[in-house]
Amino acid sequence: MRIVDDVLADGLGGLSHNVITGRIEDLIQWARSRSSWPASFGLACCAIEMMGAGGAHYDLARFGMEVFRASPRQADIMIVAGRVSQKMAPVLRQVYDQMMEPKWVISMGVCASSGGMFNNYAIVQGVDQVVPVDVYAPGCPPTPETLIHAIETLHGKIESGEILKRRAATGAGADIHVQEIAPIVTPVLLGSK
């Protein structure tokens, strides 16, 4: 029992309760924020950066999201990566509707967030017209670090319970905008063996 108390005291960051005196709502939100499974909805070049974030170098497994789910019934976070065409919008909505509640959406990239450079009739001018977006990750394409920052921001909002309260009141997403993070450049020595 002491081990469980120590783990909860360390892992729940800020909760001063133990297993016996902890609120069940806090424990559920803590578990939700650390066990989210993303449904990938890669539509364009942003999807390559999303795949890079799931690779060994950036290791999304640290956040409990190592497997992108192919079935929407197993996912609770949708990452919309790239431009959404008018023909793809009903499919996007259908996948979102098939996801289990509670569910969250990350809009990855300028094209998904606002249509980007494609200001025409064929591209949806913001995925928030189709599904409620909780976090916007900027960039063209956003770096894997930016996506990870957006995921961490979403996890913090899930743990606080703020998103579910807002969605119950307004029916909309959280509308959080994160800053783009520059890629980490690793020096390479040429000619060394």
Domains of the chain: 1-34 (no CATH), 37-177 (3.40.50.12280)
Could you give the CA distance from residue 57 to residue 53 in angstroms, rounded to a whole number?
A: 8
Average pLDDT, the chain: 78
Q: Are 15 and 22 in contact (CB under 8 A)?
A: yes
pTM (2 d.p.): 0.73
Q: What is the pLDDT of residue 163?
A: 66
Q: What is the mean pLDDT of residues 60-65?
A: 79
Q: What is the pLDDT of residue 1?
A: 44
